[in-house]
Amino acid sequence: MRPAGGADLPSPGRRYGAALTTPRIVALPGDGIGPEVTAAALEVLARLGEFEVEAHAIGGASIDEHGTALTDETLDACRTADAVLLGAVGGPKWESTDPEAPRPEQGLLGLRKGLELFANLRPVRPSPALLGASPLRRERIEGTDLMVVRELTGGIYFGERGRTAGGSAFDTCAYSVPEIERIAEVAFRSARRRVTSVDKANVLETSRLWRETVERFAGDRRRAARGEGADPREDDVELEHMLVDNAAMQLISRPRDFDVLLTENMFGDILSDEAAMLTGSIGMLPSASLGAPEAPGLFEPVHGSAPDIAGTGAANPLATIGSVAMMLRYGLGRESEGAGIESAVDRALEAGLRTADLGGAATTESATNAVLANL
Ligand code: IPM
Ligand code: MG
Protein backbone atom coordinates (compact mmCIF):
# COMPACT_ATOMS: atom_id res chain seq x y z
CA MET A 1 0.00 0.00 0.00
CA ARG A 2 1.07 3.59 -0.66
CA PRO A 3 2.75 5.48 2.17
CA ALA A 4 0.81 8.20 3.94
CA GLY A 5 2.22 10.98 1.79
CA GLY A 6 -0.72 13.28 2.45
CA ALA A 7 1.25 16.08 4.04
CA ASP A 8 3.79 16.09 1.21
CA LEU A 9 1.21 16.44 -1.52
CA PRO A 10 -0.93 19.39 -2.55
CA SER A 11 -4.16 20.25 -0.69
CA PRO A 12 -3.10 19.23 2.81
CA GLY A 13 -3.47 22.78 4.13
CA ARG A 14 -6.93 22.34 5.53
CA ARG A 15 -6.24 19.20 7.45
CA TYR A 16 -5.14 20.88 10.64
CA GLY A 17 -8.15 23.17 10.71
CA ALA A 18 -10.36 20.24 9.86
CA ALA A 19 -8.97 18.21 12.73
CA LEU A 20 -10.06 20.85 15.22
CA THR A 21 -13.56 21.53 13.96
CA THR A 22 -16.22 19.38 12.32
CA PRO A 23 -15.04 18.92 8.70
CA ARG A 24 -17.37 20.44 6.13
CA ILE A 25 -17.88 18.15 3.13
CA VAL A 26 -19.66 19.23 -0.03
CA ALA A 27 -21.33 16.24 -1.71
CA LEU A 28 -22.04 16.44 -5.44
CA PRO A 29 -24.01 13.27 -6.24
CA GLY A 30 -24.53 14.13 -9.94
CA ASP A 31 -26.24 11.79 -12.39
CA GLY A 32 -27.00 8.12 -13.06
CA ILE A 33 -25.60 5.91 -10.32
CA GLY A 34 -23.84 8.97 -8.82
CA PRO A 35 -26.46 9.60 -6.10
CA GLU A 36 -26.56 5.90 -5.11
CA VAL A 37 -22.79 5.46 -4.73
CA THR A 38 -22.43 8.84 -3.02
CA ALA A 39 -25.07 7.95 -0.44
CA ALA A 40 -23.31 4.63 0.21
CA ALA A 41 -19.93 6.30 0.68
CA LEU A 42 -21.39 8.97 2.99
CA GLU A 43 -22.86 6.20 5.12
CA VAL A 44 -19.37 4.78 5.59
CA LEU A 45 -17.97 8.25 6.34
CA ALA A 46 -20.68 8.91 8.95
CA ARG A 47 -19.54 5.82 10.83
CA LEU A 48 -16.20 7.54 11.54
CA GLY A 49 -17.48 10.55 13.41
CA GLU A 50 -19.09 13.86 12.83
CA PHE A 51 -19.03 15.49 9.41
CA GLU A 52 -21.11 18.37 8.16
CA VAL A 53 -22.37 17.34 4.73
CA GLU A 54 -23.96 19.73 2.28
CA ALA A 55 -25.28 18.45 -1.07
CA HIS A 56 -25.36 20.42 -4.34
CA ALA A 57 -26.40 19.59 -7.89
CA ILE A 58 -23.80 19.12 -10.61
CA GLY A 59 -23.78 17.86 -14.20
CA GLY A 60 -27.07 16.88 -15.80
CA ALA A 61 -28.94 17.31 -12.53
CA SER A 62 -27.74 20.92 -12.40
CA ILE A 63 -28.61 21.49 -16.07
CA ASP A 64 -32.17 20.34 -15.35
CA GLU A 65 -32.42 22.53 -12.28
CA HIS A 66 -30.46 25.65 -13.27
CA GLY A 67 -29.70 25.38 -16.99
CA THR A 68 -25.95 25.04 -16.39
CA ALA A 69 -23.79 22.10 -15.28
CA LEU A 70 -22.10 24.09 -12.51
CA THR A 71 -23.57 27.14 -10.79
CA ASP A 72 -21.46 29.84 -9.10
CA GLU A 73 -23.18 28.93 -5.86
CA THR A 74 -22.02 25.30 -6.07
CA LEU A 75 -18.48 26.35 -6.97
CA ASP A 76 -18.40 28.79 -4.04
CA ALA A 77 -19.67 26.12 -1.66
CA CYS A 78 -16.86 23.81 -2.84
CA ARG A 79 -14.24 26.55 -2.46
CA THR A 80 -14.99 26.98 1.22
CA ALA A 81 -15.41 23.25 2.01
CA ASP A 82 -12.76 21.06 3.61
CA ALA A 83 -13.25 18.45 0.88
CA VAL A 84 -15.58 17.66 -1.99
CA LEU A 85 -17.04 14.22 -2.76
CA LEU A 86 -18.43 13.68 -6.25
CA GLY A 87 -20.47 10.78 -7.64
CA ALA A 88 -20.59 10.89 -11.46
CA VAL A 89 -21.89 13.13 -14.21
CA GLY A 90 -23.47 12.55 -17.62
CA GLY A 91 -26.10 10.46 -19.36
CA PRO A 92 -27.96 10.00 -22.66
CA LYS A 93 -30.53 12.60 -21.65
CA TRP A 94 -27.97 15.38 -22.08
CA GLU A 95 -25.95 13.96 -24.97
CA SER A 96 -25.72 16.21 -28.00
CA THR A 97 -23.16 17.18 -30.63
CA ASP A 98 -24.49 20.76 -30.65
CA PRO A 99 -21.52 22.90 -29.52
CA GLU A 100 -23.95 25.36 -27.87
CA ALA A 101 -25.80 22.79 -25.74
CA PRO A 102 -24.80 22.58 -22.04
CA ARG A 103 -22.97 19.32 -21.23
CA PRO A 104 -22.87 17.55 -17.84
CA GLU A 105 -19.08 17.08 -18.13
CA GLN A 106 -18.67 20.86 -18.10
CA GLY A 107 -19.64 20.69 -14.42
CA LEU A 108 -16.74 18.43 -13.59
CA LEU A 109 -14.25 20.26 -15.80
CA GLY A 110 -15.40 23.63 -14.43
CA LEU A 111 -14.89 22.37 -10.91
CA ARG A 112 -11.39 21.05 -11.64
CA LYS A 113 -10.41 24.32 -13.28
CA GLY A 114 -12.28 26.53 -10.79
CA LEU A 115 -10.56 24.92 -7.80
CA GLU A 116 -7.27 24.56 -9.76
CA LEU A 117 -7.10 20.86 -9.03
CA PHE A 118 -4.10 20.18 -11.22
CA ALA A 119 -3.04 16.85 -9.74
CA ASN A 120 -5.17 13.76 -10.18
CA LEU A 121 -4.07 10.65 -8.27
CA ARG A 122 -5.47 7.31 -9.39
CA PRO A 123 -4.04 4.40 -7.43
CA VAL A 124 -4.36 0.93 -8.96
CA ARG A 125 -3.94 -1.81 -6.40
CA PRO A 126 -5.91 -4.95 -7.20
CA SER A 127 -7.43 -6.33 -4.01
CA PRO A 128 -5.89 -9.78 -3.30
CA ALA A 129 -9.37 -11.31 -3.27
CA LEU A 130 -10.05 -10.03 -6.77
CA LEU A 131 -6.98 -11.39 -8.55
CA GLY A 132 -9.24 -13.95 -10.22
CA ALA A 133 -11.62 -11.23 -11.46
CA SER A 134 -8.98 -9.50 -13.59
CA PRO A 135 -9.02 -10.25 -17.31
CA LEU A 136 -5.28 -10.86 -16.94
CA ARG A 137 -3.82 -14.02 -15.46
CA ARG A 138 -3.18 -13.93 -11.72
CA GLU A 139 0.62 -14.36 -12.16
CA ARG A 140 0.71 -11.28 -14.31
CA ILE A 141 -1.33 -9.05 -12.05
CA GLU A 142 -0.13 -10.17 -8.60
CA GLY A 143 1.89 -7.51 -6.78
CA THR A 144 0.62 -4.62 -8.91
CA ASP A 145 0.55 -1.38 -6.92
CA LEU A 146 0.81 1.64 -9.16
CA MET A 147 -0.44 5.18 -9.24
CA VAL A 148 -1.41 7.23 -12.25
CA VAL A 149 -0.52 10.89 -11.58
CA ARG A 150 -2.51 12.75 -14.22
CA GLU A 151 -2.23 16.47 -15.00
CA LEU A 152 -5.81 17.69 -14.76
CA THR A 153 -6.18 21.37 -15.66
CA GLY A 154 -4.19 21.74 -18.87
CA GLY A 155 -3.60 20.20 -22.27
CA ILE A 156 -6.19 19.52 -24.92
CA TYR A 157 -9.02 19.51 -22.37
CA PHE A 158 -8.67 23.23 -21.81
CA GLY A 159 -7.03 24.51 -25.00
CA GLU A 160 -8.69 26.68 -27.59
CA ARG A 161 -11.30 24.79 -29.63
CA GLY A 162 -14.02 25.45 -32.10
CA ARG A 163 -15.52 25.07 -35.54
CA THR A 164 -14.32 27.01 -38.56
CA ALA A 165 -16.41 28.71 -41.22
CA GLY A 166 -15.31 25.94 -43.57
CA GLY A 167 -17.01 23.30 -41.41
CA SER A 168 -13.87 21.88 -39.76
CA ALA A 169 -13.28 21.53 -36.04
CA PHE A 170 -10.13 21.91 -33.95
CA ASP A 171 -8.83 21.36 -30.39
CA THR A 172 -5.48 22.71 -29.21
CA CYS A 173 -3.07 21.12 -26.76
CA ALA A 174 -0.84 23.54 -24.86
CA TYR A 175 1.38 23.19 -21.78
CA SER A 176 3.62 25.67 -19.98
CA VAL A 177 6.83 24.82 -18.11
CA PRO A 178 5.36 25.67 -14.64
CA GLU A 179 2.33 23.46 -15.35
CA ILE A 180 4.62 20.54 -16.13
CA GLU A 181 6.94 21.20 -13.18
CA ARG A 182 4.21 21.25 -10.57
CA ILE A 183 2.72 17.92 -11.68
CA ALA A 184 6.21 16.38 -11.96
CA GLU A 185 6.77 17.36 -8.35
CA VAL A 186 3.61 15.55 -7.25
CA ALA A 187 4.67 12.47 -9.22
CA PHE A 188 8.12 12.37 -7.60
CA ARG A 189 6.66 12.84 -4.13
CA SER A 190 4.20 10.02 -4.74
CA ALA A 191 6.87 7.63 -6.05
CA ARG A 192 8.75 5.05 -4.05
CA ARG A 193 11.17 3.86 -6.72
CA ARG A 194 10.39 5.08 -10.22
CA VAL A 195 8.50 7.71 -12.17
CA THR A 196 7.50 6.65 -15.68
CA SER A 197 6.79 9.84 -17.57
CA VAL A 198 4.43 9.19 -20.46
CA ASP A 199 4.43 11.29 -23.62
CA LYS A 200 4.34 11.22 -27.41
CA ALA A 201 7.63 13.07 -27.87
CA ASN A 202 8.23 11.44 -31.27
CA VAL A 203 5.30 13.45 -32.66
CA LEU A 204 4.02 16.23 -30.38
CA GLU A 205 5.77 19.49 -29.47
CA THR A 206 3.97 19.65 -26.10
CA SER A 207 5.38 16.19 -25.38
CA ARG A 208 8.92 17.30 -26.22
CA LEU A 209 8.55 20.20 -23.76
CA TRP A 210 7.06 17.74 -21.26
CA ARG A 211 10.02 15.36 -21.56
CA GLU A 212 12.62 18.14 -21.41
CA THR A 213 10.97 19.74 -18.36
CA VAL A 214 10.49 16.50 -16.41
CA GLU A 215 14.11 15.54 -17.17
CA ARG A 216 15.39 18.89 -15.89
CA PHE A 217 13.13 18.75 -12.85
CA ALA A 218 14.43 15.27 -11.94
CA GLY A 219 18.05 16.41 -12.35
CA ASP A 220 17.54 19.46 -10.10
CA ARG A 221 15.83 17.27 -7.54
CA ARG A 222 18.66 14.74 -7.59
CA ARG A 223 21.26 17.48 -7.14
CA ALA A 224 19.26 19.05 -4.30
CA ALA A 225 19.00 15.67 -2.57
CA ARG A 226 22.79 15.38 -2.59
CA GLY A 227 23.23 18.85 -1.13
CA GLU A 228 23.88 19.66 2.47
CA GLY A 229 21.05 18.93 4.93
CA ALA A 230 18.96 17.34 2.17
CA ASP A 231 16.99 14.13 2.31
CA PRO A 232 19.12 11.56 0.44
CA ARG A 233 16.09 9.30 0.03
CA GLU A 234 14.83 11.75 -2.56
CA ASP A 235 17.75 10.61 -4.68
CA ASP A 236 16.34 7.07 -4.93
CA VAL A 237 13.50 7.76 -7.33
CA GLU A 238 14.52 7.06 -10.90
CA LEU A 239 12.99 8.55 -14.00
CA GLU A 240 12.16 6.84 -17.25
CA HIS A 241 10.32 8.16 -20.30
CA MET A 242 7.85 6.07 -22.25
CA LEU A 243 5.83 6.79 -25.37
CA VAL A 244 2.13 6.56 -24.68
CA ASP A 245 1.36 3.78 -27.15
CA ASN A 246 4.13 1.66 -25.68
CA ALA A 247 2.89 2.49 -22.15
CA ALA A 248 -0.57 1.18 -23.10
CA MET A 249 1.06 -2.11 -24.05
CA GLN A 250 3.47 -2.39 -21.11
CA LEU A 251 0.63 -1.71 -18.67
CA ILE A 252 -0.96 -4.97 -19.76
CA SER A 253 2.19 -7.04 -20.21
CA ARG A 254 4.02 -6.11 -16.97
CA PRO A 255 1.79 -4.00 -14.70
CA ARG A 256 3.71 -4.73 -11.50
CA ASP A 257 6.87 -3.08 -12.84
CA PHE A 258 5.21 0.33 -12.70
CA ASP A 259 5.30 2.60 -9.67
CA VAL A 260 4.13 6.09 -10.70
CA LEU A 261 2.89 6.87 -14.21
CA LEU A 262 3.14 10.60 -14.82
CA THR A 263 0.90 11.78 -17.65
CA GLU A 264 -0.61 14.83 -19.28
CA ASN A 265 -4.38 15.22 -19.12
CA MET A 266 -5.72 13.12 -21.98
CA PHE A 267 -3.12 10.33 -21.90
CA GLY A 268 -3.93 9.94 -18.19
CA ASP A 269 -7.64 9.76 -18.90
CA ILE A 270 -7.14 6.89 -21.31
CA LEU A 271 -4.42 4.98 -19.45
CA SER A 272 -6.27 5.16 -16.14
CA ASP A 273 -9.33 3.44 -17.60
CA GLU A 274 -7.02 0.77 -18.98
CA ALA A 275 -5.25 0.42 -15.64
CA ALA A 276 -8.62 0.22 -13.89
CA MET A 277 -9.43 -3.02 -15.68
CA LEU A 278 -6.38 -4.63 -14.06
CA THR A 279 -8.37 -4.58 -10.84
CA GLY A 280 -11.19 -6.59 -12.42
CA SER A 281 -13.66 -3.74 -12.80
CA ILE A 282 -13.64 -0.02 -13.29
CA GLY A 283 -16.11 -0.04 -10.41
CA MET A 284 -13.17 -0.42 -8.03
CA LEU A 285 -11.04 2.63 -8.75
CA PRO A 286 -11.02 5.74 -6.53
CA SER A 287 -9.34 9.06 -7.23
CA ALA A 288 -8.19 12.27 -5.60
CA SER A 289 -7.78 15.62 -7.35
CA LEU A 290 -5.58 18.05 -5.48
CA GLY A 291 -4.54 21.65 -5.95
CA ALA A 292 -2.95 24.48 -4.03
CA PRO A 293 -2.09 23.81 -0.38
CA GLU A 294 -5.14 25.69 0.86
CA ALA A 295 -7.57 24.36 -1.73
CA PRO A 296 -10.01 21.60 -0.84
CA GLY A 297 -9.45 18.32 -2.69
CA LEU A 298 -12.04 16.65 -4.88
CA PHE A 299 -12.59 12.92 -4.43
CA GLU A 300 -14.49 10.82 -6.93
CA PRO A 301 -14.68 7.33 -8.42
CA VAL A 302 -12.98 6.94 -11.80
CA HIS A 303 -16.06 5.27 -13.29
CA GLY A 304 -18.89 7.13 -14.99
CA SER A 305 -22.60 7.49 -14.30
CA ALA A 306 -23.58 4.06 -15.75
CA PRO A 307 -27.09 5.18 -16.79
CA ASP A 308 -27.98 1.61 -17.84
CA ILE A 309 -28.01 0.41 -14.24
CA ALA A 310 -29.02 3.67 -12.51
CA GLY A 311 -31.88 3.18 -10.07
CA THR A 312 -31.58 -0.61 -10.04
CA GLY A 313 -29.57 -0.70 -6.80
CA ALA A 314 -26.87 -2.78 -8.52
CA ALA A 315 -24.07 -0.17 -8.68
CA ASN A 316 -20.74 -1.06 -7.09
CA PRO A 317 -20.10 1.57 -4.38
CA LEU A 318 -16.51 0.47 -3.66
CA ALA A 319 -14.77 3.07 -5.85
CA THR A 320 -16.65 5.87 -4.10
CA ILE A 321 -16.03 4.32 -0.69
CA GLY A 322 -12.34 4.14 -1.70
CA SER A 323 -12.55 7.82 -2.66
CA VAL A 324 -13.76 8.61 0.86
CA ALA A 325 -10.67 6.77 2.12
CA MET A 326 -8.52 9.00 -0.11
CA MET A 327 -10.43 12.04 1.19
CA LEU A 328 -9.53 11.11 4.75
CA ARG A 329 -5.89 10.52 3.81
CA TYR A 330 -5.13 13.38 1.43
CA GLY A 331 -7.85 15.88 2.20
CA LEU A 332 -8.40 15.71 5.94
CA GLY A 333 -5.08 14.37 7.27
CA ARG A 334 -6.78 11.29 8.76
CA GLU A 335 -4.52 8.65 7.26
CA SER A 336 -5.31 5.81 9.67
CA GLU A 337 -9.06 6.11 9.17
CA GLY A 338 -8.55 6.09 5.42
CA ALA A 339 -6.43 2.95 5.69
CA GLY A 340 -9.11 1.46 7.96
CA ILE A 341 -11.73 1.84 5.24
CA GLU A 342 -9.41 0.27 2.66
CA SER A 343 -8.79 -2.79 4.83
CA ALA A 344 -12.52 -3.10 5.55
CA VAL A 345 -13.12 -3.20 1.78
CA ASP A 346 -10.39 -5.84 1.34
CA ARG A 347 -11.85 -7.97 4.13
CA ALA A 348 -15.37 -7.72 2.73
CA LEU A 349 -14.06 -8.86 -0.67
CA GLU A 350 -12.14 -11.72 0.94
CA ALA A 351 -15.36 -12.80 2.65
CA GLY A 352 -16.93 -13.08 -0.81
CA LEU A 353 -18.50 -9.70 -1.52
CA ARG A 354 -19.10 -9.38 -5.29
CA THR A 355 -21.31 -6.83 -6.99
CA ALA A 356 -22.68 -7.49 -10.49
CA ASP A 357 -19.68 -5.89 -12.25
CA LEU A 358 -17.50 -8.47 -10.48
CA GLY A 359 -19.76 -11.34 -11.46
CA GLY A 360 -21.74 -11.46 -8.22
CA ALA A 361 -25.19 -10.50 -7.02
CA ALA A 362 -24.46 -8.05 -4.17
CA THR A 363 -26.47 -4.82 -4.32
CA THR A 364 -25.19 -1.34 -3.52
CA GLU A 365 -26.83 -1.67 -0.12
CA SER A 366 -25.50 -5.11 0.77
CA ALA A 367 -22.01 -4.14 -0.43
CA THR A 368 -22.11 -1.06 1.81
CA ASN A 369 -23.28 -3.14 4.75
CA ALA A 370 -20.49 -5.66 4.14
CA VAL A 371 -17.91 -2.85 4.32
CA LEU A 372 -19.54 -1.38 7.45
CA ALA A 373 -19.52 -4.80 9.12
CA ASN A 374 -15.76 -5.02 8.54
CA LEU A 375 -14.95 -1.49 9.65
C1 IPM B 1 -12.53 11.10 -15.96
C2 IPM B 1 -13.68 11.29 -16.91
C3 IPM B 1 -13.76 12.76 -17.29
C4 IPM B 1 -12.45 13.10 -17.98
C5 IPM B 1 -14.97 13.14 -18.16
C6 IPM B 1 -16.27 12.77 -17.50
C7 IPM B 1 -14.96 14.60 -18.52
O8 IPM B 1 -13.56 10.46 -18.01
O9 IPM B 1 -12.54 11.70 -14.88
O10 IPM B 1 -11.64 10.31 -16.28
O11 IPM B 1 -12.30 12.89 -19.19
O12 IPM B 1 -11.55 13.62 -17.31
MG1 MG C 1 -11.95 9.08 -17.88
DSSP letter, residue 157: G
Q: Say what the pLDDT of residue 4 is.
A: 44
pTM of the model as a whole:
0.93
Give the mean pLDDT of 3-32: 71
273 is catalytic: yes
d(CA 165, CA 78): 39
Q: Say what the pLDDT of residue 347 is.
A: 97
Tens digits of residue pLDDT in 282-326: 889 999 999 988 899 999 999 999 999 999 999 999 999 999 999
Give the mean pLDDT of 230-241: 83
The b/e string for 29-46 (b: 16+ C-beta within 10 A; e otherwise) is bbbbbbbbbbbbbbbbbe
Does pLDDT of 277 surpass 50? Answer: yes
Whether 1-118+287-375 and 135-279 share one fold: the answer is yes
Can you give the residue ranges of every domain in the chain? 1-118+287-375, 135-279
Tens digits of residue pLDDT in 72-118: 999 999 999 999 999 999 999 999 988 889 999 999 999 999 999 99
Tens digits of residue pLDDT in 323-336: 999 999 999 999 99
For the CA of 90, the closest atom of ligand 1 is: 6
CATH label, 135-279, candidates 3.10.20.600, 3.40.718.10, 2.40.30.200, 3.20.20.80: 3.40.718.10
Q: Whose CA is nearest to atom 10 of ligand 1?
A: 269
Taking ligand 2, which is a single-atom ion, which protein residues have CB atoms under 5 Å away? 269
- By percentage, how much of the chain surpasses pLDDT 90? 83
N-to-C CA span, the chain: 18
Q: Say what the pLDDT of residue 121 is.
A: 97
* Cα 172–Cα 173–Cα 174 angle in degrees, nearest 5: 115
For the CA of 152, the closest atom of ligand 1 is: 12
Report CA(89)–ligand 1 centroid distance (Å): 9
Measured CA to CA in angstroms, residue 289 lies from 78, 113, 270 at distances of: 13, 11, 16
CATH number of 1-118+287-375: 3.40.718.10
330 is catalytic: no
For ligand 1, which residues put their CB under 6 angstroms from it?
105, 108-109, 269, 302
245 is catalytic: yes
